[in-house]
Structure 1
Amino acid sequence: MQLGTGDIAELVSRTDWEALPLGAPEAWPHALRTIFNLMLNSKFPMFVAWGPQLAFLYNDAYSEILGQKHPKALGRPFADIWSEIWDDILPIINKALAGEASFFENLPLTMLRKGFTEQTWFTFSYSPVFDESGAICGVYCTCTETTRQVLAERERRDEIDRLRDFFQQAPGIMAILRHPSHTFELANQAYYQLVGNRELVGRTVREALPEVEGQGLFELLDQVYRSGTPYVGRAVPIKLRRSEDGDLEQRFADFVYQPIRDSAGQVSGIFVEGSDVTEAVLVNRALQESEERLRQLANTIPQLAWMARPDGYIHWFNDRFFDYTGKTLEEVEGWGWHVVHPPETAQAGIERYKTLIATGEPFEMKGALRSASGEFRTFFTKTAPLLDAAGNTVQWFGTSTDIHEFEQAQEELRATSRRKDEFLAMLAHELRNPLAPISTAAELLKLPGLKDGQIKATSAIITRQVSHMKQLVDDLLDVSRVTRGLVNLQRKPVSLTDVIRDAVEQINPLIVGKRQSLSVRYSDATAQVLGDHTRLVQVFSNILSNASRYTAEQGEILIQVQIDGGGEHVQVRIIDSGIGLEPQLLPHIFELFTQAERSPDRSQGGLGLGLALVKSLVELHNGKVAARNNDSGQGSEFAVTLPVLGAAPDTSGLANAAASTTDEPSSHRQR
């Protein structure tokens, strides 16, 4: 028998057909040989099942479907070859044997052809085969395996389902509009919720959302469809009627109108995607209003105030800050505020600030800030986070309070406390010193047989020491009365020449003892003031006493009395050539307990009360007192300024006093 070419044709020639139902090919019916030759020359999978046992013949293309069943399947009964699917296809075979052709598309069959069971799908047709007499003697099948296509289609459908689920479940609003009329093809649940769960699909936007007319959205859709250019909207206000009988409700949405193009590149629809941001907009508006109120409040307080983002970036300062620093927002915004801090600490201050911001907790700082004039003043800064309902930091608010005077006052209090402690130590020393000679004298008086001269000498020691202690106590009481305002001045016209003469007489022994030179110069010896003669003598004797004590032997002291140009004030300057004033003590020289020499044994003596008493008494006379070191670098100068009363009616005494500057060396020019 002449057969076609191919693997199956060769297999036929090598097969022992005597043991098979069909027998030798030369004896096959003409109809069988004809259809078999047709199959062998086809590239499409085919088989024929012939005779009572439905002996199975197939072509090369079908052999791939058989898998491991090939080549043993050739010529064997159909039922033996496909036993695992026999129950599924037998009804189809029977219909063909009954003369009825069948066609099936993607019929599922569970096959065992590769050593394991697998689910397959086939599209095929079964047709009856007739012999020369017209009798049905077999079944002819053309088929193709569609397993891959079916699985791919299933995957495609699954993917579509997943995309549809994603589309429907997406938290943002989504919709697909088709045609220039913008007809809803799809809309997800979020979109339905936004517009009030009304009917959308199959309706145009103008039909579905009539209340949006006049809000500009329909015109935007028309523009996007015509131009093919996307539109992006942020916090766009939309008024919607979200229930059938409800009022218009203001909503806000972020959205994109994205053109959809067909295979030809033409716009065929619009994809709508976005989010309902109404709550966020309302919260942001409330935050902005709150921030504005906070800004207004911050501009009314005396402190410097500022606000920062959650990361600490400062974006706002109050007016007080700009007034103080003289800077603009552009100069100090962000991290630029370091320019108002001392250069040597600015970078470290920024790093510490960032570290504290990272904690999310309130914090405090203290440091110096430069004013517009260049002065650095100390500020105390308090910073706290402003939190949202979830406890997240939305921004920081800080105030900086000027504590420069407070810091100085605190330091002054500490210095005063130190001086008080030192004064008490000095006072204890001064009060204790007389006790030793008094105690010794008392013991001497107990001795029998003392002579009158010894008793008098011993009593004199006690008297002197008691007098010294009394003077110390009187000084303390005097300072206490003056500083508490308990002194009543006996005010009357007083000649400054008399006052200075009496003051010089009081300290004369000290000056003479140290062989010092004292000169008095008057520009007007008739100057009078309204004051207490005794207290004014106390003022100048205290200053002169200090000048003498702190001036070396044979040193010089000069008193100058002069009227100012307007004739309203008289100034008395006491200038010495002594050791001068210590620079660190100069600002505190008139404060209580201030002493130039602070060791307990103080060779210069004194309790540090005299100059404080001087200042209080001068101020009680409506005057002022100042101290400075001489320009020459040697010695100091004290200047007392008092209001002038006017010239005295009788000036003869003052003239004599002025003349005594040279004629009376014991009083006014002494060595």
Structure 2
Amino acid sequence: MTPPPKPHPLLLGDSGTPGAASPTTARLLDDIDWSETPLGPPQQWPQSLRIAVSICLNSRFPMFVWWGPSLVNIYNDAYIPILGKKHPRAFGRPARESWSDIWDVLGPQVDTVMNQGRATWNERVLLQMERNGYPEDTWFTWSYSPIHDDQGGIGGLFCACTEETPAVLAERERDRLVREAQDTARTLETWFDHAPGFVALLRGRDLVFEMVNEAYYQLVGHRDIEGRPAFEALPEMRHQGFEEILGRVYDTGEPFIGRGLPLSVQRDAAATPQERFIDFIYQPVRNADGQVGGIFVQGYDVTDQVLAVKALRDDDRRKDEFLATLAHELRNPLAPIRQAAAVARSPAADTQRRTWALDVIERQASHMALLLDDLLDISRISRGRLVLRLEPVELREVVHSALETVRPLVERKNHILDVKLPAQPLRLNVDAMRLAQVLSNLLSNAAKYTDEGGRIELVAGQEGDEVVIRVRDNGIGLEPRALAEIFEMFSQVSSALDRAEGGLGIGLSLSRGLVGLHGGTLQADSAGPGEGSEFTVRLPGSVVVGASAKQPDLSPPAAARAGRLILVADDNPDALQTMGALLEIEGHRVELAANGEQALAAAQALKPEVAVLDIGMPGLNGYEVARRIRAQPWGADIRLIALTGWGQAEDVERAHAAGFDHHVTKPVDLDALQELVGA
């Protein structure tokens, strides 16, 4: 059986299922070699473009994105009928090329958006198109909104549109029928049954429902409303402004047009009210004597369109907030690093002060590395690229690792930390490092958002087929609406901002993602502000029956290992010199190479025991140097270690394929590197 095609990473359908929406345009998106277009590969697209395209392709409302100077056209399946025979050629092509027949109308509005950043709005505009090989009159309602690129400029525009041709033609037909056969209820009822959108006819001063079509029932629920006054049949409509609008239309005989108005509707007595958004018209209907005798109601449920536009704006706002937070969090450690470096260089600094300065630099650099690691992890989870390394491990070891990370913060704030673990060993089949990362994040948050001298508890145990770990505190607590929001990307609870001690607002989102990869859940609970919080981790089916003894570490102490001949290659002079100096301090003999050619020549001449090679070197990169070393008889026994800033799963696989024994990401942990060198 042929496996189903992989969904494009920009697509998310119903219930979060990748690829469930827009199958036709999704295939076009995958088939196009974007590297040959002005947009370049999708992986390099600006975040704003990726968000706009994702919203567009996952919507069932006609939408498109035009990007770049040539206005490259990307649209969704719902937009295909509007294009007619211009599809699929129009996908990925300049917009002006596809719509040359109406560019005299569209062009000036596009210029307004792209040059001035002002959104446009067009309602029921007549356009004479040749989309099917012949001229035809069409009517459209659309808006153009600017999309900003990562530099703050206008990179393109977003359009949500409605073809109103059926509605316009239907309204013309309606007027003709009302004029020619106003008293023929059967003819009007037949038209109602085939009318686009929701339709109803209200008769008399009491606005009694005389006719209602199926679309109207879908909007308000299948209730018994025909023959009943409107606000008796639909009592929740009172006090939403519709009584006043209908009364004004009836009294003045002037129609009313509403666009995107909110409507709270309760589909049945037991249902929770739902907020919908509607476009509609209240058209007065006159009797033979010319007096208003009723009101004709016609409209469309445009909730999807309104929410899509709102989501786009919210995503844009969250992106701006995140970038500001990221800049703040990266500048914070940079300041003490620069200041500590100045102290270390000062001739007046004594040994103690220089040692202190170096500790500051190391601590702040580690903080920056953690920020970047969190960003990379959340990106890998969202793209399904993070791989767990599952192995049986005792829960006590995982908790101990988490406590080591968070203990300095807990002690600094004088908290009481109470840890309660099962008396019997409890072993789990988990990624120990990732689970410890989750627990340390929860404990760290508890410490940050609890006043000094507070109490924090970590309680773990087995409940049925689940291992349950709870982290409780008596800190600031959470409002009910915040219980869901805190797990969103870049979320910062407003009441906790003055207590936060740094972070990008992705820790809980990352933690929930890591727990989810284990097949578990992470839930937050709080009795309210000032009442503390509890976070519960559940790992279903993860218990390993029995407890195997931990294998002793038989490797010799680092101090007992013999120094090795090591080749280090890196095109960054500072990185090369510092790495060489650190390895020499550890007792190794080190040869330095500034590029791939020097590294290959040195390896052939010296036959080192270990080679630490940077990947991104000019000329011969690290992969090619490794391949050429392995191709020689003398290169089979050299231990090759890849040192790189690229840490994705495919980067590790590529390093092993080139002949490397180990893959280490920058900034390197010296203790870990020493273990690899001396192993």
Q: TM-score range by the shorter chain?
A: 0.3 to 0.5
Structure 1 length normalisation: TM-score? 0.47
Q: Which one has the largest radius of gyration?
A: 1
